Structure 1
Amino acid sequence: MRRTSARSKLAAAVAVLAATTAFSGLNAGTGGATEQAAASPTGATASAMGFGAGTTGGAGGSTVTVGNASAFISAVQSSGPAIVRVNGTISLSSMTKVAANKTIVGVGTSGRITGSGLNVSKVSNVIIQNIAFSGSNDDAINVEYSTKVWIDHNEISGASDGGIDIKRASDQITVSWNRSRNQNKNMLLGHDDGNGGEDKGKLRVTYHHNWFDGTTQRNPRVRFGNPVHVLNNYFSNVSSYGVASTKEAGVLVEGNYFENTKDPFHLGEGSSPGGSLRAVNNHFVNSGSGQQGGNVNGIPYGYSADSASSVKSKVTAGAGVGKI
């Protein structure tokens, strides 16, 4: 969402499974909505790792397949748990609120949201998976005052503000296997230097196996969250900078592959003072060495990182829509 201030392989990598049989009996019509019993507990392929582990989404609810904006809005704003399957292009005119206990998942490669984005605000247990977001008049995905959110295998491009912005006391979130391109302000974590009263002890996010494909900045740009885990991501042709740790943040940048990225990570950004950043086992190709310093809290979950040199091939093969 618009604002006035300036600019984690885990417990084994997320399984790359075929999303073919889980919903094979569902009506995939493009108009209206059809309800069926959910064939998978959460409706999503695999499950979240890292800080967002245990996110349940629409578990226990019915499944509805939608193909137009009115059916989509009705489904994602319904009061009970639900798995909302997107089959077709959903054209939104403004940021659309998502209620708690929802899984929003694209069907094959057909699930698209354009025109505006999704607002995950004051809720918990939300999964957004396998959706292509393009041309939002605001953010593609905004998360605020929310916990247990998993954003996975989406494609983000052309949002006029942020790609995936997470702020205002949000916590326990995983952002995984997404591909961002044609995106300037990509992923902001913590919206303002003056919001420590809400954000300290929160904003713990795992970013893993994402492809930052020619993005400009904020991959992510972090305030207050400590630790934040940036693990096994592929940064290619990032024009301004990769990761920035600012204002009391603590970021572990681990096992990433940086290619053609002059400034892979640094401390401070704009008027925001430097936070802490620890960089370990990263791989650099035609890229700078980055800046690090300070103390970062330990990662509180078990995981096994991919070797950084293997990340490019794994992420380009597995990130984005239709890769699950």
Structure 2
Amino acid sequence: MSAVQMTYAQAAALALSQAMEQNPHVVALGEDLGRGGVFGQYRDAEGAPLVQRFGPDRIIDTPISESTIVGAAVGMALAGCTPVVELRVVDFALCAIDEVVNQAAKNRYMFGGQGRVPMVLRMPIGIWSASAAQHSQSLEAWFAHIPGLVVVAPATAADNHGLLLAALASGDPVVYMEHKELWAVPGEVVPGEVVPLGKARIAREGRDVTIVSWSRQMTACQDAAEQLAAQGVQVELIDLRTLWPWDKAAVLASVAKTGRLLVVHEAIRAAGFGAEIAATVAEETGATNSKAHSASAVRVARLGAPRIPVGYAPTLEAEARVSAAHIVAAAHKLVT
């Protein structure tokens, strides 16, 4: 099938529609789904809410109670459904943290595989202009820490389509993190094309420094890579796409070529998922380089937001963003 131009939000809605058409046990539940979702992510290409096609028994509007929504979805999953849970923004998912962390994530392990929880928890992440501290967080590292959860963070319309299809077919609880400022961004999508979980995308090939990122931060990284290319620094840019499991092999292969790694994320730098990647690369390459010359050791750095809440005022919000200029400066430190 040929590629079609659509937005990040439309790409996800198409994936959900296809899954619902193929599997009558796929349902969606959450707040504002009847009107098509806060960001239009439950509307078809013509703009009609999906409830008009699938009815209120499968596109289910719920009360404002995240713990109830996720708790009901866990029960539905154990009973044989594949629920898609809309949590509006990741900040609100914290109201259902017990249901996610202690129920959905652990059931398969605690009961010897007798029950599975095939569900997709949509938790939009990231800074959303003028939305302040309680609507702008990136908490992917929290969920990557929990055994039993798959964590996905698509950066493009094509990946938001293909990764959602993969998440729905995985049979496990998937924390699916779409960036709020990507909803309206267009891209080419091949309808029905699945993107495998755990497989990174090489967005740009280069020889001087490897930059690893995900979600909307890829946009700033791409801008930085262009600027660095004009200055004679060739970046190999990796879009991780899935944070757990993450594509360690792709990152290590790139670092073996460039000898330098910069991990960049919008989330707060302290205890962010970039620390896991940086530490893994340092350990893996350190074990190899201990037998070689110390001069061959890989240089590793990470870049993230300062440990501050996102401010409402534009000047304060800007302090929490990791810009292309920040990335260019950090890359130069590695290559000089």
TM-score normalised according to structure 2 size? 0.29
Which one has the largest radius of gyration? 2
Higher strand share: 1
Q: Which has the higher helix share?
A: 2
Q: Which has the higher contact order (CA 8 A, sep 6+)?
A: 2
